[in-house]
Amino acid sequence: MKLLRYGPVGQERPGLLDAQGRLRSLADHIQDIDGQTISPESLKRLAALPIEQLPLVDGNPRLGPCVANTGHFICIGLNYSDHAAETGAEVPPEPIIFTKSPHSIIGANDAVEIPRTSVKTDWEVELGVIIGKTAKYVSQDEALEYVAGYCVVNDLSERAFQIERHGQWSKGKSCDTFGPIGPWLVTRDEVPDPQNLDMWLEVDGHRYQNGSTKTMVYGVAYLVSYLSQFMSLHPGDIISTGTPPGVGMGQKPPVYLKPGQQMRLGINGLGEQHQVTYAAK
């Protein structure tokens, strides 16, 4: 299934995309797409619904974040060896973990704000992993059983805040609007191999990132298991698993986002995002 949330900010309603790409409402069956409704039991009930009998949604509504009420938005740094090389960093012997504020989350096609004083706002297309049941001390063999599904993430980053302002990476990663997710949550059954997904990103029509999850240093199952050794992962939590090469910081000379630009990014089978940038007031 491709689960989604549609409607104005703060008033999103649950829905799904049918086989013909039409948006259908789930409002008669669940309140929202969140940790409670993406459990294995809930997803099984939703999958059994007669999809062609669900109400069609008129028009072309805004798509909100594909999961609501995320508690942890956990990111993995330098998880593609070729991306590490372009930034002059070494592949870490264990996953680098940092967090983005859940308040940075926006819909897949919402506008992205360039922060005040920003000079190095950058893009990163990433595979997002959405947890479906509480994971604590899980093994790598069983880790994918705790995954509800996957989505596209744009892990936007202000590099000067992240690298030059000292301390942890989170302050360069957590700015308002720096976490577009979606357009939909694609359930795990539709992604048989999360380590074989092509991904790409364009700015103003120029293709900067072309990569594949094949080149991850630490795969999805390893990351879910690894993180669960340090903290409980709860339904609705998101793991953003790293980016392939082609970020703005890695260009020669570096290229960074400015107000009025357009980003387009996607992952095979998981949909596309489209964002316009604007200056913070």
Q: Are residues 168 and 229 in the same domain?
A: yes
* pLDDT per residue as tens digits for the range 194-212: 999 999 999 999 999 999 9
61 domain residue, yes or no:
no
67 domain residue, yes or no:
no
Q: Are residues 122 and 196 in the same domain?
A: yes
Q: Are residues 22 and 80 in the same domain?
A: no
Q: How far apart are CA 119 and CA 229, in angstroms?
A: 37
Radius of gyration from C-alpha coordinates of the chain: 18
Q: Are residues 93 and 229 in the same domain?
A: yes
Query: In terms of residue numbers, what domain contains 8?
Result: 2-53
Is the pLDDT assigned to residue 86 strictly greater than 80? no
Q: Are residues 201 and 134 in the same domain?
A: yes
63 domain residue, yes or no:
no
Q: Are residues 121 and 163 in the same domain?
A: yes
pLDDT of residue 169: 86
Q: Are residues 81 and 47 in the same domain?
A: no
Residue type, 49: L
Distances (CA, A) of 266 to 53, 77, 109, 198: 30, 19, 12, 8
68 domain residue, yes or no:
no
Nearest in space to 195 (alpha carbons), one of 253, 229, 248, 144 = 144
Residues of the chain above pLDDT 70, percent: 100
144 domain residue, yes or no:
yes
Residues of the chain above pLDDT 90, percent: 93
pLDDT of residue 231: 98
DSSP string, 177-234: T-EEE-S-EEEGGG-S-TTS-EEEEEETTEEEEEEEGGGBSS-HHHHHHHHHTTS-B-
Q: Are residues 107 and 189 in the same domain?
A: yes
Q: Are residues 22 and 126 in the same domain?
A: no
Count Cα neighbours of 167 within 13 Å in the Cβ-side half-sphere: 7
95 domain residue, yes or no:
yes
Q: Are residues 36 and 99 in the same domain?
A: no
Tokens of 92: 């870490």
43 domain residue, yes or no:
yes
Q: Are residues 24 and 82 in the same domain?
A: no
Omega of the bond prior to 253 within 30 degrees of 0, cis?
yes
155 domain residue, yes or no:
yes
* pLDDT per residue as tens digits for the range 142-170: 999 999 999 999 999 999 999 888 877 88
Give the pTM: 0.96
Residues 6+ apart with CB under 8 A from 94: 226
Helix, strand, coil share (%) of the chain residues, nearest 5: 20, 35, 50
Helix (H) or strand (E) holding 45: helix 40-47
Q: How far apart are CA 147 and CA 192, in angstroms?
A: 12
- The domain tally of the chain equals 2
Residue 94: CATH number of its domain: 3.90.850.10
Q: Are residues 30 and 88 in the same domain?
A: no
**Residues forming beta bridges with residue 158, ordered by sequence position:** 121
